[in-house]
Structure 1
Amino acid sequence: MTPRVHTLANGVRVVCDPVPGLQTVALSVVAGRGARWEDESRSGWSHLLEHMVFKGGGGRSAKQIVEVIEAEGGHINAATGYERTSFQIRALSHGLDLGSQVIADLVQRPTMDAGDLKREKQVIAQEIAEAADTPDDLVFELAQEAAFEGQPLGRSILGTTKSIAAATPETLDLWRVGLYAPETLVVSAAGAVDEDELLRLAERDFGHMAPGRALAVAEPTQFAGGVRAKAKRLEQANLVLLLPAVGVLDPDYFTLRLLAEILGGGMASRLFQEAREKRGLAYAIDAYSETYSDVGVLGVFAGCAATDAEELARVAAGEIAGMTTLVDEAELARAKAQLKGSMFMGRESALARAEQAAGQVLMFGRTLDPEIVAREVDAVMAGDIARLATWILGHKRSAVAVLGPKTALRAAPVFEAALFGLGAVDFTPTY
């Protein structure tokens, strides 16, 4: 069944996706705004706000919020991204009523106690420090910073200790009113859900929200590119290689997904076979695409011995460049099967369905029929992939992050020189 979308009078949209045979329901309340709407002085506020609303709301303490959900056999969680913030509940079917009440309290009636805020700033400071101490977190942040330097997408979702310190209960609550405004909200339920009941609950809990204070429109983002090479005493070198790509709304979105799948999406992929199986250069290596509404990246991540980092960078550059020539039909068919398989397998989770439907409504204004999406994947031809790869490389721009022993840091300029045919590259690593 295709999920049905309804719009309340104040702009809140409601998606109902019944799944026969399930005894549980997943409810996601998703705001179509996140860290991308922050300026530098408010960096990390969306994530801080997500933490703070769990400290109390609607007359319940932090402990009571969790207890009432778990007493009904449910689980509650939340996540902040660059372009959306999501509150999620998984529960037995009769838990939808309570779940809707609790999330409505978090979004609309949080306590915002000054003492809680002070403690939560300390918690997030530890989270920031933990990310800095975790190589495979830090290297991705360095690459993101290089790709989108000076722009919201180039800043960590966690923010900085300085920007977090500036928030007060009053200013953070004003931020909440804009971030969780009704016109940005989608209430999405999947699983054992009745459409009439969901609409009644959505109207009761979200239908009376007043329009929010408008936040500044997120500015278009440009891929900047650059190098972040940082020496750190580690056993392995960690590499992230990024190239500019298309966003979710671009007609080449599925072409990008297939390009990444062929390049490094699994054990049969080109990078895995060449770098790991044939040459033994890396235990972990994969390619991926990361997409936002208007921009995206094609990425490669690898962990390797520091002494192998330069050779691995050359191999990765060669495999990326090889995508400009036509892939064979068997390789393309395998990539299509993998992509469709992951999409359909994901839909076997009620929470994934609820989140996916909310994301589609926020991005496209409607849900997408999986069978039609599958046909769009099948319509991609080998020539489309070669064309997109040529377009990507035509920018002659990359963002490279290397984290590890000093001997690995030269991998950054080596990658750019190998991929773009550059001569000697000036390079000053960060120690």
Structure 2
Amino acid sequence: AYTVRESTVFYVRVPAPHARFATDLLCEVVGQPRLDPADVEIERGVILGELDGALDTPDDVVFMNLVEALFPGHPIGRETLGDPQSLVAMAAADIAGFHDRWYRPQNLVFAAAGALDHDEIAKTIDAHFDGRASGVRPERIAPGEALGSDKSAQRPIEQAYLALGWRGLTATDPDKVALAVLNHAFGDGPSSRLHEEIRERRGLAYEVSSSAASNLDAGTQTVYCATAPEHLDKVRRIIDEQIEAIVTDGIDDEELAVAQGYLTGSMLMALEDSSSRMSRLGSAVLTHGRAIPIFESLESIAKVTTDDVKRVAERIFGQQHVESIVSPDGDEFDDDDED
């Protein structure tokens, strides 16, 4: 199981002859979990340890703080692991009440892929959930327009970690595919502009990247780099220069072709794995309310033009952004406000 900002996912992967057993087991876990207080205490300790580990990891901290600054006061800006105070205060009865309210058919999507019989899987699921109240969908409140302040923290480390963030695109935005093309050319991969300029040509950082994430009500666009503290200002200037260049001039035809080839190839190769197929189906139904045929996704990549990429670059990078830094102890940044 795992949790992301807008969903919790439970899954099993078994040999095909055991599909019926696995479906029964998954339905029991999701529909009738055993929330024994003793088990809750054990899991509480596990999650608190996981949170401590994240707070000890600079590249986790820099993004925790960045998302909080992008969506101040909104649930989407919270760390999915929670915080120590809420984790300690949460009782088994609270968890049971939350489950009873929200883990209802209205809020569930089942997806399956592999050597299985659709009708048999559906029949098994129906046997577990028929007769249960369908429940209600949670009320969705989109984030406000205001951004928070820049964030900085210190840790006993050697490098400085920098993350820049802009409000991105929602999961249903028609420019989402153009943004994926933009990111591949700009900072997602060894042939990208940021990688070539900052790592390959100047040797200022081992890791530099850009990426986008989309949810139903909001999205993020980020640029990330880990570098020596004395290089931080120079790296920031180079990032600003590269952003200005891609907003002003867009990308060229070769960059477009490389990005489209990469995105197409990645999508097709993911189809070789049944878990990827399952995730793709479930995510599409959660987001769009339907399974999206692969040809439709491939066509959307092929239709992206350089003009589309330039437009989405202007749209994203033309906004105000926020900055998050995690630097070594004793560095000039001393506003450790994520604790």
Aligned partner of 2:154 in structure 1 is 231
Alignment of 1:52-201 (within 5 A): 78-201=1-124
Aligned partner of 2:143 in structure 1 is 221
- Check the 8 A contact 1:310/1:408 in 2, yes or no: no
Alignment of 1:337-376 (within 5 A): 337-376=261-300
**Secondary structure, aligned partner of 2:312:** helix
Shift of 1:326: 2.8
Distance 1:321 1:295 in 2: 24
Distance 1:173 1:377 in 2: 43
- Check the 8 A contact 1:226/1:398 in 2, yes or no: no
Letter in 2 for 1:321: E
Shift of 1:118: 2.2
Alignment of 1:181-330 (within 5 A): 181-212=104-135, 214=136, 216-222=138-144, 224-324=147-247, 325-330=249-254
What per-residue deviation string (whole Å, max 9, x for no partner) do you get for residues 255-301 of structure 1? 11111111111111000000011111100111111111122111111
- Check the 8 A contact 1:306/1:407 in 2, yes or no: no
Give the structure with the larger strand fraction: 1
**Secondary structure, aligned partner of 2:220:** strand
Aligned partner of 2:336 in structure 1 is 430
Distance 2:182 2:101 in 1: 37
Shift of 1:409: 5.8
Shift of 1:406: 5.8
Letter in 1 for 2:142: P
What per-residue deviation string (whole Å, max 9, x for no partner) do you get for residues 383-416 of structure 1? 1111111122332x11211112268667xxxxxx
Shift of 1:178: 2.7
- Check the 8 A contact 1:402/1:409 in 2, yes or no: no
Q: TM-score, normalised by structure 1?
A: 0.74
Distance 2:173 2:295 in 1: 19
What per-residue deviation string (whole Å, max 9, x for no partner) do you get for residues 62-96 of structure 1? xxxxxxxxxxxxxxxx1111111111111000111
Higher relative contact order (CA 8 A, sep 6+): 2
Aligned partner of 2:258 in structure 1 is 334
Task: Give aligned-pair identity as a percent.
Answer: 30
Distance 1:177 1:339 in 2: 40
Letter in 1 for 2:257: A
Distance 1:154 1:173 in 2: 25
What per-residue deviation string (whole Å, max 9, x for no partner) do you get for residues 319-345 of structure 1? 122221231101111111111111122
Letter in 2 for 1:393: F
Runs of 4+ in 1 over 4 A off after TM superposition: 406-410
- Check the 8 A contact 2:163/2:323 in 1, yes or no: yes
Distance 1:382 1:409 in 2: 41
Distance 1:141 1:288 in 2: 15
Q: Cα–Cα, structure 1 residues 222 and 257, in superposed 2: closer, same or farther, change >3 Å?
A: farther
Distance 1:345 1:352 in 2: 10
- Check the 8 A contact 1:409/1:429 in 2, yes or no: no
Letter in 2 for 1:241: L
Is 1:379 the equivalent of 2:303?
A: yes
**Secondary structure, aligned partner of 1:80:** strand
Letter in 2 for 1:402: I
Shift of 1:158: 0.9
Q: Cα–Cα, structure 1 residues 216 and 203, in superposed 2: closer, same or farther, change >3 Å?
A: closer
- Check the 8 A contact 2:163/2:223 in 1, yes or no: yes
Distance 2:262 2:330 in 1: 37
What per-residue deviation string (whole Å, max 9, x for no partner) do you get for residues 159-201 of structure 1? 1121122322222111112332101111111011112222221
Shift of 1:225: 4.3
- Check the 8 A contact 1:236/1:303 in 2, yes or no: yes
Distance 1:143 1:192 in 2: 42
Can you give the 5+ residue segments of structure 1 that lack an aligned partner in the other structure? 1-77, 411-427
